[in-house]
Amino acid sequence: MARSTAGLSVRYASLFLAGMVLVAQSVSAADLPPLPKEIKDKGVLKVGVRCDQPPYGFKDASGNYAGIETEMALQIAEWAFGSRDKAELTCVTAENRIPQLTGKKVDLLYATLGVTPERARVVAFSDPYRWDGSDVVVLKDSPIKHIAELKGKTVIALKGSNQARWFEEKMPDTESMRLNSTADALQALKQKRADGATFDIALLVGIAKNDPGLRRLNEPFLLVDASAGLRKGETQWLAYVNAAQARMKAEGLYRKWAVKWAPEGTVEHYVSGFETKRPVEK
């Protein structure tokens, strides 16, 4: 009951917002370039989103897709097809997201995808919509204070993640353990199967807040932009996604979504990722 009310109020809010936009910008929808025929003919928007990366992409208590990047996907479905219901969401992992895209299982990725040269070889990136860094989390009573102390120790990273590659290249003396999901990774850390685990800071902000048994090292590394992932060569579609993201920013939607999905006290952290420019790494 509570959920349907919330859904309703979201619908009213978006209606209200759409109305405001109509008044303010008169022909906002016309600002978006035409939808490419291949996408239009499908009648649905197939998007890969994360299911284990709150607050960007996760499943809420009742198992529905939720999160800021999920909202981005739903918003594009609304602009493209007139309804959020036209988004066909697929749960992707760090490991399988790019194969899902290149294998045409989805047409767009909003999946905490960092921009890296290796990935740029196989996919096209939209304009960056936010930036993020990485950090290491250890058990609260662990003697480790700095990343450098992880030399010769075991560190967990998600398969296919930026952090896995970073540790492989920058700290080859570290024993790596690669797992599939955040849940597996945290469980393995708590069972002391490794000395630390490395994730996006965005994820750690939420985790460290909720879990007193864990401690962040607070040594951010690997600052990267996050972008939507598209297949190479689909320029019209890319232009559409870029325009849609620009419109989200102009309409202040990121803040609205951050308020909706980020845990209390962490909202500003997430908003700044979307609304400020990425600092240069030391």
Partner 1 sequence: MDFDVHYIYAQLPALARGLLVTLEVSGISIVISILAGMAGAAIKTMRVPLLTPLLNGYVEFIRNTPLLAQMFFIYFGLPSIGLSLSLFWSGVLTLSLWASAYQIENIRGGLVTVRAGLHNAALALGMRPWQYMRLIAMPLALRVSQAAILNTSISLLKNSCFLQAVGLAEITYVAMDRIAMDFRTLEMMLVLGVTYLLLVLFMSLFSAWLEHRLHKPFRM
Q: For residue 233, what are its two tokens? A: 């060569």
> Which member of 191, 212, 233, 280 binds partner 1 (CB under 8 A)?
191
Query: Does residue 172 touch partner 1 according to CB under 8 A?
Result: no
- What's the rounded Cα separation, in Å, for the pair 21 and 31? 12
Query: Does residue 105 touch partner 1 according to CB under 8 A?
Result: no
Of 39 and 94, nearer to partner 1 (C-beta) is 94
Of 192 and 209, nearer to partner 1 (C-beta) is 192
Of 178 and 256, nearer to partner 1 (C-beta) is 178
Strands 57-59, 52-53: pairing kind: antiparallel
Q: How far is the CB of 39 from partner 1 (least distance, A)?
A: 23
Three-state SS string across 214-258, please?
EEECCCCEEEEEECCEECCCCHHHHHHHHHHHHHHHHCCHHHHHH
- What's the rounded Cα separation, in Å, for the pair 93 and 183? 12
Interface of this chain with partner 1, residues 122 to 161, rule: CB under 8 A: 122, 156, 159-160
Interface of this chain with partner 1, residues 35 to 94, rule: CB under 8 A: 94
Query: Does residue 264 touch partner 1 according to CB under 8 A?
Result: no
Query: Does residue 104 touch partner 1 according to CB under 8 A?
Result: no
Of 160 and 263, nearer to partner 1 (C-beta) is 160
Helix ranges, the chain (H): 2-25, 37-42, 68-81, 97-102, 117-120, 162-170, 182-190, 201-210, 235-250, 253-261, 267-275
- Binding residues (CB under 8 A) for partner 1: these are 94-96, 98-99, 102, 118-119, 121-122, 156, 159-160, 164-165, 177-180, 184, 187-188, 191-193
